[in-house]
A and B are shown apart, each in its own frame.
Chain A
């Protein structure tokens, strides 16, 4: 892991709600984390816990008109993105912060060639002539290890495999040399062998450009391989953040522990994988107090009454649970 640089992206107490017919869905309900240059932070949690919504609200791409950022700050190199106007945000997207989406099949416009879609991204950054941009595009494809990049530029998305398309999406994402890259489950739609190559590729790009990466996934195998630190989300909030190794070895928050326990181990032979009973709460009907209380095996009435504060429990490691005793922060 490259030594982590200065803080590039800091999210402070972000609240982003969806106003639907049945009431207000509090998808992101007070999320805070920091992301350093060259570092990869994993954002994990069951599906529907608000991982993608967090990423979208950072980029101000919440689905109109339902989604709105209600409270909190998103500081990208010190500038708060929440207060920026739409045209200012346009200059930020792609150039200083970019994103890779989950399903490569639908990420590329079917009626335009791959080349034109890359050139379009490059034009945002470089005001060169078309053929200069095409050379840059060819270079971008070579960098994401696409064979024979020159012809591939003229190909249409449907003429490429899922893995190849995701590489193109990756090339587009880094074309503007952003400082922050959000990858929203980029490999879920790929088969296993291609997954590995893609993750290696992302690591190489990060090493070369020192960009900070927010990696959203529910696959702990990927977390172990890719992420320097991990933030575990549950029902719209981060319940525990810490170095990957620390979380894997000694998860302190009951939900993190339960998640870790339900991951199948290569070495141990297991008949039945432990699973967490119950369902995550409906995002538009939050219980009072700790949201994991209904499903927590160590719950007591305090957990049900009051939401636990965030408690530092180790070097860059904190959790919000009444059972966790604070230990002095290492630094």
Chain B
């Protein structure tokens, strides 16, 4: 198992290197932050002063060298807009996003699994189509629109929930639903198809031969096997959530890293953008690794050399 983890870490490092190069290039292509900081009538001399203050006057390869060596040491540079260490700004906001993501994931699972089971058990019937239709609605509505409609209905019309921002538990409901619904369709369909496959196998027949009730057969024997593919996709779902957070956090004024990424792009804040992308990639990769290790626990057949 240790050798496997080591190999994965090496692959992860290589991957981060690729991501770092790509984001370094893409950020610079997207324009110059100076334009957004100076006044309309700033002269060339003003721009030069700012350029030097922000270290953007150095040649490109030198900036890349500073960025990469810094990244290895954990120093990801100073955010242009916040004038503070980019990593510090990121980690200041990360807990807010991490409070939301698991909730959205759990919410999506809590609905996707029963829906998937129902659709599989009553395959081909109305229940199956209804569950499928409901799940597809999840990916059919643009997230920002769903969020705004939920705010309109639940906080303006019904006054039941606060409309935005972080706060008490009631503040988490709408953002988690907006984020979670996005995953519903994929998860539900996967649970259904893998469950159908498992229900056809011999050991299910043996389980029923033991006289076990259909519920136990489905929820214990089948579901345990059916959830393995779902777990393996947790990494992908987590990455989807991280991108989904950009929209949800903007709509619900959630001070998370999702919106930080968006601000970094709009303000061409290179160091912040590079830091956010890299750190997000690290999180997604580590989640993937944890999921793969969890996979071995879930499916004894898988023993990593």
Contacts and interface: CB of A to CB of B under 8 A. Distances in A.
Interface of A: 59, 61, 86-87, 90-95, 98-99, 101, 103, 106-112, 120-121, 124, 156, 158, 169, 172-173, 176
Interface residues of B, number: 21
Given A109-B221, A110-B299, A101 B206 contact: yes
Contacts of A111: 224-225, 228, 298-300
A93 B208 contact: yes
B126 interface: no
Contact of B210 (A106, A120, A158): A120
19 contacts: A92-B211, A94-B209, A94-B211, A98-B209, A101-B202, A103-B202, A106-B201, A109-B203, A109-B225, A110-B225, A110-B300, A110-B301, A111-B228, A111-B300, A112-B224, A124-B211, A156-B300, A158-B300, A169-B206
Contacts of B298: 111
B225 A90 contact: no
B203 A90 contact: no
A176 B300 CA distance: 28
A239 B299 CA distance: 47
A171 to B, nearest CB: 12
A172 B208 CA distance: 12
Given A156-B300, A156-B301, A107 B210 contact: no
B205 interface: yes
A173 B208 CA distance: 12
B2 interface: no
A107 B212 contact: no
Given A107-B202, A111-B224, A111-B300, A90 B207 contact: no
Contacts of B212: 90, 120, 124
Contacts of A107: 202-203, 206
Contacts of B221: 109, 112
Query: Which 6 pairs across A and B sit closest by C-beta, in order of nearness?
Result: A94-B211, A106-B202, A93-B211, A156-B300, A94-B210, A109-B203
Among B203, B205, B209, residue most surrounded by chain A Cβ atoms (within 10 Å): B209
A156 B206 CA distance: 16
A248 B109 CA distance: 61
B213 interface: yes
Contacts of A121: 210
Nearest to A99: B209
Nearest to B213: A90
A98 B201 CA distance: 18
Nearest to B204: A109
B211 A95 contact: yes
Contacts of B211: 90-95, 124, 176
Contacts of A98: 209
Interface string B228-271: 10000000000000000000000000000000000000000000
A129 B14 CA distance: 53
Contacts of B206: 101, 107-108, 169, 172
B6 to A, nearest CB: 25
Interface in B184-238: 201-203, 205-214, 221, 224-225, 228
